[in-house]
């Protein structure tokens, strides 16, 4: 039995197969409409989510399966003091596969230890968010035609942004990747990640001003400042509007640069950019459904007829 706790749980070759499957799903949706007939996905969400949870639900419904779960820890037995280990033991009796989101780092790994069904980490605190990364990689592969030879800017809350951490790990496995980390000094990428990049000889630059590197990028991954992970509201208020990408700044960017964002957006991308052909963040949401369909099929070892 396999789980997805980190994007590195799949080899690069396995990821290629997953993305090929997702691309086939995109072009032949009808072929996959009954692949999960009779199967049940559980969504156990101890933290707020719109996209990720609904994306999983949509993916399972589009495969013909059904969904149960909870969207709020206060509505679950967690509020009575039940442990994640016990909850997953119970959920294993009700469903065939489980997506779990939890505010604590490592919670999905604990669930996987006690589970009889495949567990998908749908976000564990500020740690990782592998299915967002699968979404990001499929989007990049589809829009740029490759996952290597890319200059990628990541901008915003690089300290608490779990999508950022997972994406850096995942992209580090492809050839000739260069990272630009654009953040205020307080929200830099954690040292354990930059140390690993140094060890692997992967080039990266840390800058404060977006304008200084915007013209060098193939991709810009914008992120919101992660309000819920701040200890102190004053710091959040001071940093929340540090970056606002607008039409004027976008004049510095290449014609073929793509803007990605895991969403939700707050103020960091001005809505005037939504009509810019380089704004890829809503297409990215659509790729998220295809890749989650492919992931559910892969973890349940199911194939289209
Ligand atoms: C992200 C998350 O939950 O980490 N959202 C998502 O799943 N697309 C990003 C965020 O909340 O900023």
In a shared domain, residues 123 and 164: no
In a shared domain, residues 114 and 144: no
Q: Tell me if the bond preceding 264 is cis, omega within 30° of 0.
A: yes
Residue 170's φ and ψ, nearest 5 degrees, are -70, -45
In a shared domain, residues 116 and 140: no
Ligand 1, from 99, 158, 163: best to mutate by most atoms within 8 Å of Cβ? Answer: 163
Confidence of residue 191 (pLDDT cuts 50, 70, 90): very high
Q: What would the pLDDT profile of 261-273 be if each residue is shown by its tens digit? A: 999 999 999 999 9
Contact 238, 153 (CB under 8 A): no
Domain that holds residue 154: 131-285
Residue nearest to atom 7 of ligand 1 (CA): 52
H helices present in the chain, as ranges: 12-27, 51-62, 84-94, 107-114, 130-144, 162-171, 191-199, 233-239, 247-250, 281-299
- One of 39, 62, 129, 159 is an active-site residue; which one? 129
Contacts of 6 (CB under 8 A, 6+ apart): 121, 128, 130, 166, 169
In a shared domain, residues 49 and 184: no
In a shared domain, residues 189 and 152: yes
- Kindly state whether residue 304 falls inside one of the protein's structural domains: no
- Kindly state whether residue 2 falls inside one of the protein's structural domains: no
- Kindly state whether residue 145 falls inside one of the protein's structural domains: yes
In a shared domain, residues 151 and 83: no
Ligand 1, from 108, 162, 262: best to mutate by most atoms within 8 Å of Cβ? Answer: 262
- Kindly state whether residue 227 falls inside one of the protein's structural domains: yes
The mean pLDDT value for 154-163 works out to: 96
Q: Is 80 part of the annotated catalytic residue set?
A: yes
Residue 45, SS3 per DSSP: strand
- Kindly state whether residue 35 falls inside one of the protein's structural domains: yes
**Is the model's pTM score more than 0.85?**
yes
Q: What would the pLDDT profile of 14-57 be if each residue is shown by its tens digit? A: 999 999 999 999 999 999 999 999 999 999 999 989 889 999 99
In a shared domain, residues 190 and 123: no
In a shared domain, residues 277 and 183: yes
What is the C-alpha separation between 192 and 207, in angstroms, rounded?
Answer: 18
pLDDT over threshold 90, residue 281: yes
Which pLDDT score, from 0 to 100, does residue 200 have?
Answer: 97
CATH number of the domain enclosing 120: 3.40.50.1370
C-beta of 158 in contact with ligand 1 (< 6 A): no
Give me the number of domains the chain comprises. 2
- Kindly state whether residue 305 falls inside one of the protein's structural domains: no
Which of 186, 181, 118, 176 has its CA nearest to residue 150? 176
In a shared domain, residues 279 and 292: no
Q: Is 265 part of the annotated catalytic residue set?
A: no
Q: Give the up-direction half-sphere exposure of residue 298: CA atoms within 13 A in the CB hemisphere.
A: 23
Q: How far is the CA of 52 from the centre of ligand 1 (A)?
A: 8
What is the C-alpha separation between 122 and 101, in angstroms, rounded?
Answer: 5
Contact 296, 63 (CB under 8 A): yes
In a shared domain, residues 196 and 70: no
In a shared domain, residues 45 and 94: yes
Longest dimension (CA), the chain: 56
In a shared domain, residues 41 and 152: no
């Amino acid at each position: 039995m396999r789980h997805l706790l980190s994007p590195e749980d799949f080899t690069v070759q396995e990821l290629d197969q997953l993305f090929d499957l997702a691309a086939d799903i995109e072009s032949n949706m009808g072929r996959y409409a009954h692949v999960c007939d009779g199967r049940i996905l559980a969504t156990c969400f101890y933290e707020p989510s719109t996209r990720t949870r609904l994306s999983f639900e949509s993916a399972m419904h589009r495969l013909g399966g059904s969904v149960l779960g909870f969207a709020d820890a206060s509505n679950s037995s967690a509020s009575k003091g039940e442990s994640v280990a016990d909850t997953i033991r119970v959920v294993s009796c009700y469903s065939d596969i489980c997506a779990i989101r939890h505010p604590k780092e490592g919670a999905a790994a604990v669930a996987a230890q006690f589970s009889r069904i495949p567990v998908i980490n749908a976000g564990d605190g500020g740690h990782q968010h592998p299915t967002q990364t699968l979404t990001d990689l499929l989007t990049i592969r589809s829009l740029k035609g490759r996952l290597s030879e890319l200059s990628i800017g990541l901008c915003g809350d690089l300290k608490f942004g779990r999508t950022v951490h997972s994406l850096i790990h995942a992209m580090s496995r492809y050839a000739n990747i260069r990272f630009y980390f654009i953040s205020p000094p307080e929200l830099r990428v954690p040292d354990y990640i930059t140390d690993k990049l140094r060890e692997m000889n992967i080039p990266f630059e840390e800058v404060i001003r977006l304008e200084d590197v915007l013209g060098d990028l193939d991709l810009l991954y914008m992120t919101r400042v992660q309000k819920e992970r701040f200890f102190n509201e004053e710091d959040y208020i001071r940093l929340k509007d540090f970056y606002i990408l607008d039409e004027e700044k976008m004049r510095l960017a290449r014609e073929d640069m793509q803007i990605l964002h895991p969403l939700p957006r707050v103020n960091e991308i001005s809505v005037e950019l939504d009509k810019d052909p380089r704004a890829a963040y809503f297409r990215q949401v659509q790729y998220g459904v295809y890749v989650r369909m492919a992931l559910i099929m892969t973890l349940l070892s199911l194939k289209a007829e």
